Structure 1
């Protein structure tokens, strides 16, 4: 009699799954990525704070790569003093509504087609990330993964928290000495009962009262020299050579004329408020050239003053300038995909390249980051005063950059937020009510205009719409804001949004997550509140859009490639 029992075939998949789990567990333990850390609990889902993550880059992880991984700017990175090799990354930390735990959001672009996504993410972030929600997907080069990072907001006497992964040789005593805090504060914050019993590879929180590290010094960071002044009519009382700028290139009129084929119509990209914009090929690179008359010296100088001092991935880059006896020229990087507005309102562009929902959210987030930067993170703060979809440009990867700073005004210090304007400027449909009534331009005026942009992203319609008259048959113009606000009033939640659905861009062909569209609609509604005090600032807008993008990427991942919407168009990180 054969007493050896044969394994049942139906249990084979379960057995294989278990074996894969053991191999995966062994991988994590061998690299030190197995830990029991849980995010800090929270209750106030409206709370946002500044936190820091301690990260030790590998030799192949450059500053640019770290910025991309953590979705930060160079001035968000500080360096630990001494030879520890750590950097500290400043991130906004918020209380996630569904989890009721503190996390910070970012995205990770897979650079390999080998292995599993979660393994690559855990290894890249070296214990600073939560387990990614990817259901053990195989890696695919170019895929974008939503990642949540450990962070914390202090509810005690400290100003900041640092997320730190314990290494071999670390102890509570060494961390206390290293960060200049007491052992008691680390033990109390982390619930450590025995300071000699800490786990290598687990994450701990370090309380701090000051920003850790020193500013990251960029190589070749040399002081800039004033640029020579082009020949502008002497009636102007502003001199270009008085502007402190960072090495823009001075081009000759002959170069400009040749690169645009003599300003031919075939090179004309569009006409703006203050001049025409031409495509050019100048010194081996594609450029956009704004052509203005010498009477527009004020606007010319305004753009020079801002763009020569302010540099950000989501602001159009000024390359140089040129001038003749009666014309002025500004030369910018070229945006291959045109303006955001052209994809909604230009019949030729609109039919050829419909923007998916994910692309729209990414574009909104990019533009929000650029606006937040000039509002809060520059040495002197600015109000743009002309935010609209035609001033949001898209590069070859559909990443957004804010352009046209001809109306930008200096705000000054943080508490000097209002500018009295002798003349209201901007574009009808985007102008905040308080700016129209009293001429005060503030950062909240830009927030209002950005809310209109969000409504356009949802609806695909312009800031003003021609509708049939309610009293007469003559057409009348209505603001998009009034139409969308009415639709939101009749859509109490994402499950009952039939009224809002009537105003969602049909070019998306119903391929969008309803809850995310609804959340963006509510965010836009907050941005266009009649009371500027009640509008969010751009920092809050960036956080909200980051969460919407995270949810949208997770929604797209659930489609598992069975839909054309899974297009991989969210690239570039």
Structure 2
């Protein structure tokens, strides 16, 4: 009996020793389920099981617009800017290109039961713990860990401008790691398409050691999580290898035969005659195509027929417009030369002075371009650049899409990013912030490359003040379902009403349904539905209810979760709680980059399966 007790104690001792020297378990997808009470498996942080209670650690951060220089990244991650500059071989004043990987040295210490580097973060408009962890800190923290640091603050009651502590994930090597020469651990935020082998190779680490460091038997890893990379030496500047040069054309190995000079002239003559014949055929095709009837409201505008439209003098039909504006419109019409390109013409009655005045002074690729104006028979005709793929609504709403084609996940995020970029230009980069006031899917056009252009500025107006200030109006106009509550109820106008409309539009783009079809006739708030869905505890299966059925089997779950959190923040009832457009642009830029990587990896996997299935 005594011997049995001794054996048991010895076994328990061995188990405890192994536990003390164990590696850190990979958190997996639990980090994106903020409401899950199970915080095991390193969700709250890596266990303090190393040789020391503190050490030098490293993290990788991908440069983003608000955090794209040495100082801003150092402030965000509570690091030393001089050390960041030295290890990345840049000056202290350097600015990194978007998505460039930056190595950040940090002091990693035990705080309670977990290793971490505590960073101080100021809450911004629209922030949630999920958004802070996975967007701002790029999975170098988790929503559960942030909540654990602020137990007295409810996640739904974050106050803009208040300070919170964000624990940055890090760890110190254990004895069995240092015994094999591992001296540092680097926290790496996983990007779409990353593999354990690829990450290990990037830092000169052994793949098997990386798997052991994260207690991974299956090498499958996920976006919105971080991986520990074991290093023998401190990391150096990350250099992404350039693409391979194009193959050189083979040079002739033997001289041309005798008489080659005369044959060369024959080849040249044949080439000239062939080119002339081809040019003649193309010219004939273009000539007959020009004679065909054009679609309604789309004409082939040239300098000749545009000037014919302008033969009648411009009449003063606009309300309270200045002679300067008339003169400027006249000069636009007379100098127009579209060289036969397709253009779109909008026939308008009434006061168009504000729309023309705005479009005449803005210049952005995501805002429809006004090419000219003319007046004929009591009507104004506004000539716009032609968007070959028509209105976004024709591609999004399933009942409107007659082509049978649908937009992919990446295309939808690109379109959303284009719209946000155009609105950001209106809100911040025009002379006085401007509000569109009627943003909706039918007021967004798609060009031949499916890039978005915002159109219909008839209701647009200047707020005549700094962004965030409100103006009041009694003239409530717009489209039901897109109008923000403060505008409908109190006539309050600010750039935040465009943010609300953008949230509705983004929901429609992802769901393929009109907003009214989602929240029904009982006027249930969209934000309530989204909150109920994104807080599901069953692996976010409820999100599939809001995904367009056309792409139900082909979208990235983790990115969809982040998009719905962004939508939810845009639909906050309090306008001050909604994010500004520049923050939305930053978020969508990051999501778009991840979506492109996911799209590429999905295509490669599909090709691999097709290839393997052909045997």
Give the CA deviation at 1:557: 2.4
Tell me if structure 1 keeps the 8 A contact 2:398–2:512: no
Distance change >3 Å, CA 240–CA 561, structure 1 → 2: farther
Is the partner of 1:319 in helix, strand or coil? Answer: strand
Instruction: Confirm or deny that 1:418 pairs with 2:461.
Output: no
Instruction: Confirm or deny that 1:490 pairs with 2:573.
Output: no
Distance change >3 Å, CA 130–CA 516, structure 1 → 2: farther
Of 134, 138, 161, the residue aligned with 1:97 is 138
Is the partner of 2:406 in helix, strand or coil? Answer: coil
Distance change >3 Å, CA 466–CA 477, structure 1 → 2: farther
Instruction: Confirm or deny that 1:477 pairs with 2:521.
Output: yes
Instruction: Confirm or deny that 1:370 pairs with 2:422.
Output: yes
Tell me the matched-pair count. 348
Of 222, 238, 252, the residue aligned with 2:321 is 238
- Aligned pairs for 1:294-313 (under 5 A) are 296-297=350-351, 300-313=352-365
- Aligned pairs for 1:227-266 (under 5 A) are 231-234=314-317, 236-239=319-322, 241-242=324-325, 249-250=332-333
**Residue in structure 1 matched with residue 341 of structure 2 by the alignment:** 285
Give the CA deviation at 1:380: 2.4
Give the CA deviation at 1:411: 1.6
Is the partner of 2:411 in helix, strand or coil? Answer: helix
Tell me if structure 1 keeps the 8 A contact 2:329–2:372: no
Is the partner of 2:604 in helix, strand or coil? Answer: coil
Tell me if structure 2 keeps the 8 A contact 1:382–1:410: yes
Instruction: Confirm or deny that 1:529 pairs with 2:612.
Output: no
C-alpha RMSD of the superposition: 4.6
Distance change >3 Å, CA 139–CA 47, structure 1 → 2: closer
Instruction: Confirm or deny that 1:518 pairs with 2:518.
Output: no
Tell me if structure 2 keeps the 8 A contact 1:303–1:408: yes
Distance change >3 Å, CA 235–CA 505, structure 1 → 2: closer
How does the TM-score come out when normalised to structure 2?
Answer: 0.49
Q: Compare the two structures and name the one with the higher strand fraction.
A: 1
Of 550, 563, 579, the residue aligned with 1:507 is 550
Q: Compare the two structures and name the one with the higher helix fraction.
A: 2
Greater C-alpha Rg: 2
Of 420, 439, 445, the residue aligned with 1:393 is 445
**Residue in structure 2 matched with residue 18 of structure 1 by the alignment:** none
Of 569, 582, 592, the residue aligned with 1:539 is 582
Which stretches in structure 1 are left out of the alignment for 5+ residues?
Answer: 1-37, 54-86, 104-128, 142-226, 256-280, 468-475, 567-573
Distance change >3 Å, CA 91–CA 547, structure 1 → 2: closer
Tell me if structure 1 keeps the 8 A contact 2:395–2:407: yes
Is the partner of 1:477 in helix, strand or coil? Answer: coil
Which stretches in structure 2 are left out of the alignment for 5+ residues?
Answer: 1-56, 72-93, 101-134, 142-167, 169-186, 189-236, 248-309, 610-615
Give the CA deviation at 1:248: 7.0
Distance change >3 Å, CA 496–CA 412, structure 1 → 2: same
Tell me if structure 2 keeps the 8 A contact 1:92–1:543: no
Of 420, 436, 440, the residue aligned with 1:384 is 436
Give the CA deviation at 1:305: 1.2
Tell me if structure 1 keeps the 8 A contact 2:424–2:581: yes
Instruction: Confirm or deny that 1:406 pairs with 2:458.
Output: yes
Of 47, 56, 66, the residue aligned with 1:48 is 66
Give the CA deviation at 1:40: 8.1
Give the CA deviation at 1:49: 4.7
Tell me if structure 1 keeps the 8 A contact 2:502–2:570: yes
Tell me if structure 2 keeps the 8 A contact 1:466–1:478: no
